[in-house]
Amino acid sequence: MVSASPMIEVENLSVNYAGKPALDQLTLDVRRNEILAVIGPANSGKTTLLNCINRMIETIPSASVSGTVKVDGHNVAEYRDPSLLRRRIGMVFPLPVGLPMTVYENVTFAPRMAGEKDRTVLDETVQRCLKQSALWDEVKDRLDDLGTRLSGGQQQRLTIARALSLNPEILCLDEFSIAVDPVTTMKIEEVLKELNENMTIVVVTNLVLQAKRLAHRTALLLRGKLVEVGDNEVIFSRQTADARTFQYVQGLFG
């Protein structure tokens, strides 16, 4: 059940890349156990927002950041070790990035890097994560095969399984369906709805209909600014506070 209390709080967040603005004074919250979709044209700052939530933005030398991002009430900038934050936030990128190792090793990579050596625990993690990502039945007899030999859709679900391996509280997905077929996209959407019972999910998508059918609320970004955020019943109707929102979801610009 979606809680009114925020899991992620973004306040006056601005990001520039070599002086070029990507986000401008963005203030937004993501409620606990909700699915928030973030939509908008290219170069609206959607991916930048995700990178700020888990501090991946710090890996981009040209980026300068101001403002505040809090996760569960704690300022992310105050984590001495960003890896501790990233264990709480699973990330799934637009293209499936299968590590050059077996399916089993892909899923257990993060736990092993975190120091887990118990084979029983690792076995349980593999089964749990592959089931959660709707991949177990397809690969349970292929755990020793290279992950890169799976189909594109399977590899994308493998990246979700890998993101789930440390039991994150938040899952961020950036255009997860860009490289997979419609059937796999629908499978992943059903997976996300089930996962949402126990975690907060932020989905960046260029597919307006995906945001409509998947999310509880949707936020529209335009040239780095928040145009509007609200319940889907409002965002996808003429009740929107800003005419640009209705125009965008109707495909009148983008």
Q: What are the pLDDT tens digits along the chain (254 aa)?
A: 677 789 999 999 999 999 999 999 999 999 999 999 999 999 999 999 999 999 999 999 999 999 999 999 999 999 999 999 999 999 998 877 767 899 999 999 999 998 999 999 999 999 999 999 999 999 999 999 999 999 888 998 999 999 999 999 999 999 988 878 888 889 899 999 999 999 999 999 999 999 999 999 999 999 999 999 999 999 999 888 899 999 999 987 76
- pTM for the full predicted model: 0.92
Strands of the sheet with 74-75, listed across from one edge: 20-31, 6-17, 63-71, 74-75
In this prediction, residue 238 carries a pLDDT of 85
Number of C-beta neighbours around residue 29 at 10 A? 18
In this prediction, residue 254 carries a pLDDT of 66
Which domains are delineated in the chain?
1-88+208-254 (3.40.50.300)
Q: How far apart are CA 14 and CA 34, in angstroms?
A: 24
HEC letters along 161-194: HHHCCCCCCEEEEECCCCCCCHHHHHHHHHHHHH
